[in-house]
Amino acid sequence: AILESVADLNKLNLKFDFIVVGGGNAGNVVANRLSENPEHSVLVLEAGGSNANVLPIIVPFFSPRATPNTPQDWNYSTVPQAALNHRSVDYPRGFVLGGSSSVNYLAYTRGTKEDYDRWAKVTGDDGWSWDKLVPYMKKNEHFVLPSDFHNATKEFNPAVHGFTGINSVTLHNFATPIDSRIIETTTELAEYPFNLDMNSGNHLGIGWEQQTVKDGSRSSSATSYLAPQFVARPNLNVLLNARVTRVLPTTSNAFRTVEFVQDLNGEKYTITAAKEVILSSGSVGTPNILLHSGIGNSSALTSVGIKPLHNLPSVGQNMSDHPLLLLSFLVNSTDTWETAERNTTLAAEQLAQWNATGTGPLGDSPLTHLGFFRIPDNSSIFKTFPDPAAGPNTAHFEFMFGNGKFRAPPATGNFFSITPVVVSPSARGSVILNSSDLFADPVIDPNLLGDDLDFFIMREALKSAFRFAAAPAWKDYIISPFGINSTATDAELDEFIRENAGSIFHPVGTSKMSPKGATWGVVDPDLRVKGLSGLRVVDVSIAPLIPATHTQVSAYIIGERASDIIKAAWN
Ligand SMILES: Cc1cc2nc3c(=O)[nH]c(=O)nc-3n(C[C@H](O)[C@H](O)[C@H](O)COP(=O)(O)OP(=O)(O)OC[C@H]3O[C@@H](n4cnc5c(N)ncnc54)[C@H](O)[C@@H]3O)c2cc1C
């Protein structure tokens, strides 16, 4: 059941084998899979509220409205970012059942074979390699054809997909005027080849966006892994509005007890799991809980007044995220997002169509196509810096295409956006504490573009976007880049980047996985917290290196594989 109060939970008079902290992207996978065994009772504690009936979460096209600064967002912001002219930027994380899978922009991308093979190599566990993870990708994925029934044979490769999984994935149902021009560009410029399916393990090139959508509505870990048939299991319970403050030692080095509140000024409750506590609170939430529990760098904890219980210096370190650049072009068309944003009648018609059939422009994510590209291998930059990508078939940067301008378009004009993203960043940041106050926000520093190579890649990506936009396919369509000149000097481009870059919100690595016995890292390859028992981390914070892509699929497959590892440990 999905419960709202501790009193309702107590009425059930249950004992729990597993307590999952965070009903987010990965946490709900674990909760579902562990509760497949009726002998195992599972409790999920989620700090946020219900995902039901929240329109910006449900309507795919409204995903940019789900955050920042909404009731479904933790509403964090970063410390001033040195490379971004010391700007502090919004740092949304889902504060709702489904976690960030309930508020993200729905792009379904797995990353490359090389990304996961590198995980296997650095952790010494072949189970994290691409070939071993593909079955988990298919267990997660329920691919469905687009809801407008258009012929999609040239938009994806069915051979690489899963059709019997839990989480729905589909293609766009609604054509936009940029679609044919993007595909035409792939035939005009050799630099931008077409890729029929970027989820094959090789993502280089441009392809149609695949999205986590079912029947025109968002498919999240809450709508899929906690669908009514699953939460009907008597051994699966979810408590909403339950914010875990710490994990506590149950016996000397077993941390199977959690402390939580339902009201920041109210009572503190504790519950002990008979078998394990699984932290799935995400790349900000998980290190935050570990640090408050005294698990982290002992001297840093002492300096903020927290009693250290277990010295694990990597907790909250190694944070890696993808910087993006908001870039748009003024276009010679009125058939873009801006028109409905400025015309309430048209907006109401679109919403009525979506309400009636789940189709139309609102039934799709705002990203129409994605492209993944490399800085040429012979670039002189690689004489100074080693190639940061996982391998020669893994991108340095990405383009996300959209039929309008992201974030606050001006009062007039219509736009096309190419959003460049650095997907193989070298900079590392951190999540640390500056206070023992259990409810104070942690100090979040993703260190965006904080490495010279990352900045170089972003500048090259920006120049590449200008080349893309100069293809014949855009001749009568694009008028000019907006807010920057394509003939700008490097110094001018750099200033534009400093003022307009931000995060795409893919933090990973703050509970980094390392080989068993390593003196660095936070969890072993079986995701147990090093040196402790009864406590695992299962969310994207365990990623040893950031995959060169959007991170929700990684969260799903981490949840799927972890579930098998945990089941095997208790059988
Ligand atoms: C705005 C945005 C857009 C994005 N767009 C995309 C995209 O298009 N495609 C893509 O692949 N990825 C995207 N991502 C990234 C992706 O969604 C995340 O990487 C992924 O969902 C993280 O999964 P997770 O399980 O690690 O954490 P989360 O899904 O964030 O789950 C953590 C859960 O733990 C809960 N929690 C935290 N602290 C506590 C506590 N103390 N007590 C109890 N519960 C707690 C949270 O409320 C949350 O529900 C986006 C992310 C954001 C924020």
With a cut of 90, say whether residue 167 has pLDDT above it: yes
Question: What is the rounded distance in angstroms from the CA atom of residue 314 to the CA atom of residue 38?
Answer: 36
With a cut of 90, say whether residue 541 has pLDDT above it: yes
Q: How far is the CA of 282 from the centre of ligand 1 (A)?
A: 6
* 542: nearest Cα among 534, 533, 551: 551
Please determine, for the modelled complex, whether the ipTM score is greater than 0.90.
yes
| pLDDT, tens only, 402-451 | 999 998 789 999 999 999 999 999 999 999 999 999 999 999 999 999 99
Residue 252 pLDDT level (bands cut at 50, 70, 90): confident
Question: What is the rounded distance in angstroms from the CA atom of residue 133 to the CA atom of residue 119?
Answer: 11
pLDDT of residue 292: 98
Ligand 1 neighbour 506 (Cβ under 6 A): yes
Q: How far is the CA of 100 from the centre of ligand 1 (A)?
A: 3
Question: What is the rounded distance in angstroms from the CA atom of residue 89 to the CA atom of residue 83?
Answer: 12
Ligand 1 neighbour 559 (Cβ under 6 A): no
Question: Looking at residue 73, what DSSP letter applies?
Answer: B
Provide mean pLDDT across the span 491-497: 98
pLDDT of residue 409: 81
Name beta bridge partners: 43.
19, 237
Question: What is the rounded distance in angstroms from the CA atom of residue 524 to the CA atom of residue 520?
Answer: 10
Provide mean pLDDT across the span 159-165: 98
Ligand 1 neighbour 169 (Cβ under 6 A): no
Residue 269 pLDDT level (bands cut at 50, 70, 90): very high
Give the count of beta carbons closer than 10 Å to the beta carbon of residue 485. Answer: 12
Ligand 1 neighbour 47 (Cβ under 6 A): yes
Closest atom of ligand 1 to 539 CA is 26
Active centre residues (catalytic): 506, 550
pLDDT of residue 295: 98
Closest atom of ligand 1 to 109 CA is 11
* 365: nearest Cα among 143, 160, 216, 556: 216
Ligand 1 neighbour 243 (Cβ under 6 A): yes
Pocket test for ligand 1, best of 32, 91, 100, 288 (most atoms within 8 A of CB): 100
Q: Is 196 exposed, middle or buried (0-12, 13-18, 19+ CB in 10 A)?
A: middle
Closest atom of ligand 1 to 105 CA is 8
96 is in an annotated binding site: yes
- Check: CB of residue 226 under 8 Å from CB of residue 22: no
Question: What is the rounded distance in angstroms from the CA atom of residue 471 to the CA atom of residue 398?
Answer: 18
Provide mean pLDDT across the span 523-549: 98
Enumerate the H helices of 295-375 as residue ranges: 298-303, 337-341, 344-357
| pLDDT, tens only, 363-385 | 999 999 999 999 999 999 999 99
Pocket test for ligand 1, best of 95, 211, 281 (most atoms within 8 A of CB): 281
Tokens of 531: 């040196």
pLDDT of residue 421: 98
Question: Looking at residue 82, what DSSP letter applies?
Answer: G
pLDDT of residue 147: 87
161-170, 336-345, 346-355, 406-415: which has the minimum mean pLDDT? Answer: 406-415
Provide mean pLDDT across the span 113-134: 98
Pocket test for ligand 1, best of 21, 25, 326 (most atoms within 8 A of CB): 25
Question: What is the rounded distance in angstroms from the CA atom of residue 340 to the CA atom of residue 326?
Answer: 21
- Check: CB of residue 542 under 8 Å from CB of residue 511: yes
**Protein residue whose Cα sits closest to atom 31 of ligand 1:** 24
Provide mean pLDDT across the span 549-554: 98
pLDDT of residue 530: 98
With a cut of 90, say whether residue 391 has pLDDT above it: yes
Strand locations in 224-267, DSSP E? 236-239, 243-248, 257-261
Of the candidate CATH numbers 3.50.50.60, 3.60.15.10, 3.40.50.720, 3.30.720.210, the domain formed by 2-52+222-319+509-569 belongs to 3.50.50.60
Buried/exposed 156-193: b ≥16 CB within 10 Å, e otherwise:
beeebbbeebbbbbbbbbbebebbebbbebbeeeeebe
pLDDT of residue 438: 98
With a cut of 90, say whether residue 218 has pLDDT above it: yes
Q: How far is the CA of 478 from the centre of ligand 1 (A)?
A: 35
- Check: CB of residue 96 under 8 Å from CB of residue 49: yes
Closest atom of ligand 1 to 559 CA is 25
- 3-state SS, 503-529, equals ECCCCECCCCECCCCCCCCCECCCCEE
- Tracing tokens 């909404």 back to the chain, one arrives at 70
Pocket test for ligand 1, best of 248, 407, 551 (most atoms within 8 A of CB): 551
| pLDDT, tens only, 1-44 | 999 999 999 999 999 999 999 999 999 999 999 999 999 999 99
With a cut of 90, say whether residue 540 has pLDDT above it: yes
Q: How far is the CA of 399 from the centre of ligand 1 (A)?
A: 22
With a cut of 90, say whether residue 93 has pLDDT above it: yes
With a cut of 90, say whether residue 150 has pLDDT above it: yes
Ligand 1 neighbour 106 (Cβ under 6 A): yes
Q: What's this model's pTM, rounded to 2 decimal places?
A: 0.98
Tokens of 254: 């077993």
Buried/exposed 327-352: b ≥16 CB within 10 Å, e otherwise:
bbbbbebeebbbebeeeeeeeeebbe
User: Which backbone phi and psi does 153 adopt, to 5 degrees?
Assistant: -60, -25
Ligand 1 neighbour 103 (Cβ under 6 A): yes
Residue 160 pLDDT level (bands cut at 50, 70, 90): very high
pLDDT of residue 511: 98
Ligand 1 neighbour 539 (Cβ under 6 A): yes
With a cut of 90, say whether residue 197 has pLDDT above it: yes
Give the count of beta carbons closer than 10 Å to the beta carbon of residue 305. Answer: 10
Ligand 1 neighbour 507 (Cβ under 6 A): no
pLDDT of residue 408: 79
Closest atom of ligand 1 to 555 CA is 23
Q: Hey, where are the domains in the chain?
A: 2-52+222-319+509-569
Sort residue 422 into left (φ over 0), alpha (ψ -120 to 50) or beta. beta
* 478: nearest Cα among 465, 495, 493, 494: 465
Name beta bridge partners: 278.
20, 536
Mean pLDDT of the chain: 97
pLDDT above 70 as % of the chain? 100
- Tracing tokens 């309430």 back to the chain, one arrives at 344
